[in-house]
Chains A and B, each alone.
Chain A
Amino acid sequence: AQSVTQLGSHVSVSEGALVLLRCNYSSSVPPYLFWYVQYPNQGLQLLLKYTSAATLVKGINGFEAEFKKSETSFHLTKPSAHMSDAAEYFCAVSLYSSASKIIFGSGTRLSIRP
């Protein structure tokens, strides 16, 4: 069975500062990994995904994430935060060995301080 753990339910950074949202996964087989974002009063949308092609994945709005198998991590980063990045971010995992359900983490709310 697969699972994800997101460390920190709430992260607050200053505008222009580095954003780091942590995600660790558990999977018995190589996983697909995703980050989704939910802006206030909007639906969830895909930010980026890892499908084993490259360990460093670039997504929309300047975000990227690095798959580290040795650390079972898939942390999300952005070099310089913008006010518009304030949202809830969800890490998710599924198994690519077969059609599989997708399990989400509990989410991290990102706040940006002016």
Chain B
Amino acid sequence: GAGVSQSPSNKVTEKGKDVELRCDPISGHTALYWYRQSLGQGLEFLIYFQGNSAPDKSGLPSDRFSAERTGGSVSTLTIQRTQQEDSAVYLCASSLVTGRGSGANVLTFGAGSRLTVL
């Protein structure tokens, strides 16, 4: 597609429910990132996928959070047993090139999925 697509754009859920957030990156982009944006907290790194390498999960805040990327394209971020503190905007970004090179690591962001946990 022309840009990074995220769905749903808004999700309201009850505490304790599971949610899935989807990201469809730009075709051909090998790197995919998930970030969480909370009020006053900036962009918190969650997880990073690069090609066929094992993902960098160092930013996932708890074992309730998981993500997968199927076929090197679409990614799903899953939050189990949601808590009120999970309320935030979840941003996905993709990049064509990482590492060295003039185009390296330039991220294209999606519009985000706003999650509200009641």
Question: What residues on A are CB-neighbors of B44 within 8 Å?
Answer: 104
Interface size class on chain B is: 20 to 34
Q: A101-B56, A104-B42 are in contact. Are A51 and B102 (CB under 8 A)?
A: yes
Task: Select which of A46, A104, A106 is within 8 A of B106 by beta carbon.
Answer: A46
Tell me if A104 and B102 are in contact (CB < 8 A): no
Q: From B50, which residue of chain A is reached at the shortest CB distance? A: A99
| Residue of B31, B33, B91, B100 with highest tally of chain A CB at under 10 A | B100
Q: Mark A91-111, 1 if CB is under 8 A from B, else 0.
A: 010101111111111110000
Interface size class on chain A is: 20 to 34
Tell me if B105 and A104 are in contact (CB < 8 A): no
B100 CB, nearest partner CB in chain A, Å: 6
Tell me if A104 and B35 are in contact (CB < 8 A): yes
Q: Mark B3-43, 1 if CB is under 8 A from A, else 0.
A: 00000000000000000000000000001010100001111
Task: Select which of B41, B45, B105 is within 8 A of A34 by beta carbon.
Answer: B105
Question: What residues on A are CB-neighbors of B105 within 8 Å?
Answer: 32, 34, 49, 94, 96, 100, 102
Among B60-68, B69-77, B108-116, the stretch in contact with A: B108-116
Report Cα–Cα, A106/B39, bound state, in Å: 10
Q: From A99, which residue of chain B is reached at the shortest CB distance? A: B98
B1 CB, nearest partner CB in chain A, Å: 15
Tell me if A102 and B112 are in contact (CB < 8 A): no
Report Cα–Cα, A99/B104, bound state, in Å: 9
Q: From A1, which residue of chain B is reached at the shortest CB distance? A: B58
Query: A44: CB under 8 A from chain B?
Result: yes
Q: Mind listing 10 A-B residue pairs with CB under 8 Å?
A: A32-B105, A34-B106, A43-B91, A43-B110, A44-B43, A100-B98, A100-B105, A101-B48, A102-B45, A107-B42
Apart from A34-B105, A44-B43, A44-B91: 7 A-B pairs, beta carbons within 8 A: A32-B104, A34-B106, A94-B104, A100-B99, A102-B45, A103-B45, A106-B42
